[in-house]
Structure 1
């Protein structure tokens, strides 16, 4: 007997009436009657006596009912244990690099946390490449990154596309430019994010491709340090558009032909838990609305 047959049989035994049991199980009487006949055939036992519209259990039927009830209690305990294990996954570990964090963290710590207070979020802010490494090593459940090509072990869900921009103080002469070529950015002293950032590697590769020599004064691991240096007029920077907030006092000027895609990244072949799926669906819905 399988679990479903046990559940059917136990209900018929409790009700001592196939019609009532069928109503409780939300199935037709004929289907349940056939199921009881199959159980008798499978076990080789006469389980019921028919008394008018009701049935009575034979001695064998009563003995089988006793064993089925014991088995169903074990199944219930098993299901409870599985649910208890699943509760441990109310804690999600996320890797969110600093630039994309400027748009993702307010969503996660604001609206998502308000709607789903039961889900605990542990968030770290590594560089993009490091975030991808952490997903591959299963040190975090997922990451939000800009671009993630050449990683066959990872699954990518696209969020959006942003321009790569020259970041300048609001009073800078270039502020009113709608866009500029990369060659114009190479003229100015620059402060860039560290070389392990996906953006920086992409920008340096494009400088090399165009045979340009950028004036990089410093590579910083901290987005706030980059903003501060630009705000003080010491150097300009090249950042993804979503990494330059309106209240920062800086202006983002798109660089012609350069852009970055944003992705939610998970490990291929790894089970996506319900709370993880909830977060992924929430973020993708928010970006689709934008």
Structure 2
């Protein structure tokens, strides 16, 4: 039996009337009568008995009705599940570490949302390591992460590089500089994001290679803590260029040779949905090249 035959039979059996069933199904009575005759012929069962102008189900008809009703419930559940999967693909789960978020979130919550209101974004602000873990566990659809070593099972699509910067107050002795060396940055008292963030691992690895002892006062999971401590003159921070607001009391000075290499990550071997492709294309189109010269002039 086809699903259409099941639907026709269920309506006739429930109403025990060709007329009422045809009206519900919005088809002609002769069409439905012929369909029932064909069904009896194909199954070899006598499904109905006629009582005057009405019909009744035979014992075989009752048994088939119970099976058909059960099957149609399963079909309805299947259709509902497929619809839910389709809705999920219009509800993209995006994982973004905080430093990359200073560049990405204004694009996602501003331009992307305006251009694609039909795509709902569930954004998780995580560490870089956690963002990649979410992709591996298929708990996120897309992650935008910087400076990640290659992970088996993940596909990366590169975005333009951006420099990491020393974040200082505008009255700091280095504030007028257009750039600082890595050693100069490490000589300042620092507040860093904790070691779940890839930038901190990058800094620690480089310090070990260059035999530098950074003056780290505090590790924090919060970018706001960095801004707060730097604003109070207690430490300097490491942020991405663009990681401070122009109207704030802070400036971001590029650190020579300390670059982040952002990329869009998805799970290898999993179908990239149309909504994911839309987001990836948008980010590759709108993610800016680092305005180092412009930023240096403003500082």
State whether residues 158 and 264 of structure 2, in contact with CA within 8 Å, keep that contact through their aligned partners in structure 1.
yes
Query: What residue is the counterpart of 1:208 in the other structure?
Result: 208
| Aligned CA distance change for structure 1 residues 250 and 93 (closer, same or farther; 3 Å) | same
State whether residues 95 and 143 of structure 2, in contact with CA within 8 Å, keep that contact through their aligned partners in structure 1.
yes
4+ aligned runs moved over 4 Å, structure 1: none
TM-score by length of 2: 0.67
Report Cα offsets for 1:74-99 as digits up to 9, x if no partner: xxx9xxx5984434311111101111
State whether residues 99 and 242 of structure 1, in contact with CA within 8 Å, keep that contact through their aligned partners in structure 2.
no
Give ranges in structure 1 of 5+ residues lacking alignment.
1-62, 64-76
Query: What residue is the counterpart of 1:89 in the other structure?
Result: 89
Query: What residue is the counterpart of 1:68 in the other structure?
Result: none
Write the mapping of 1:176-195 to structure 2, written as runs, cut at 5 A.
Answer: 176-195=176-195
Query: What residue is the counterpart of 1:268 in the other structure?
Result: 268
Query: What residue is the counterpart of 2:33 in the other structure?
Result: none
Query: What residue is the counterpart of 1:41 in the other structure?
Result: none
| 2:168 counterpart SS class | strand
TM-score by length of 1: 0.69
State whether residues 170 and 250 of structure 2, in contact with CA within 8 Å, keep that contact through their aligned partners in structure 1.
yes
User: Cα distance, 1:258 vs. partner?
Assistant: 1.3
Query: What residue is the counterpart of 1:226 in the other structure?
Result: 226
| Aligned CA distance change for structure 1 residues 147 and 159 (closer, same or farther; 3 Å) | same
CA distance in structure 2 between the aligned counterparts of 1:184 and 1:206, rounded to whole angstroms: 14
CA distance in structure 2 between the aligned counterparts of 1:211 and 1:187, rounded to whole angstroms: 12
Kindly indicate whether residue 110 of structure 2 is the aligned counterpart of residue 110 of structure 1.
yes
Write the mapping of 1:116-265 to structure 2, written as runs, cut at 5 A.
Answer: 116-265=116-265
Q: How many residues align?
A: 215
State whether residues 97 and 126 of structure 1, in contact with CA within 8 Å, keep that contact through their aligned partners in structure 2.
yes
User: Cα distance, 1:288 vs. partner?
Assistant: 6.1
| 2:180 counterpart SS class | coil
State whether residues 135 and 267 of structure 1, in contact with CA within 8 Å, keep that contact through their aligned partners in structure 2.
yes
State whether residues 160 and 262 of structure 1, in contact with CA within 8 Å, keep that contact through their aligned partners in structure 2.
yes
CA distance in structure 1 between the aligned counterparts of 2:220 and 2:240, rounded to whole angstroms: 15
User: Cα distance, 1:259 vs. partner?
Assistant: 0.7
Query: What residue is the counterpart of 1:44 in the other structure?
Result: none
CA RMSD of aligned residues (A): 2.4
Kindly indicate whether residue 279 of structure 2 is the aligned counterpart of residue 279 of structure 1.
yes
| Aligned CA distance change for structure 1 residues 182 and 288 (closer, same or farther; 3 Å) | closer
CA distance in structure 2 between the aligned counterparts of 1:151 and 1:191, rounded to whole angstroms: 28
| Aligned CA distance change for structure 1 residues 233 and 289 (closer, same or farther; 3 Å) | closer
Report Cα offsets for 1:42-64 as digits up to 9, x if no partner: xxxxxxxxxxxxxxxxxxxxx9x
Farther-moved stretch of structure 1 (171-180 vs 84-93): 84-93
State whether residues 100 and 242 of structure 1, in contact with CA within 8 Å, keep that contact through their aligned partners in structure 2.
no
User: Cα distance, 1:174 vs. partner?
Assistant: 0.4
State whether residues 243 and 252 of structure 2, in contact with CA within 8 Å, keep that contact through their aligned partners in structure 1.
no
CA distance in structure 2 between the aligned counterparts of 1:137 and 1:209, rounded to whole angstroms: 33
State whether residues 167 and 236 of structure 1, in contact with CA within 8 Å, keep that contact through their aligned partners in structure 2.
yes
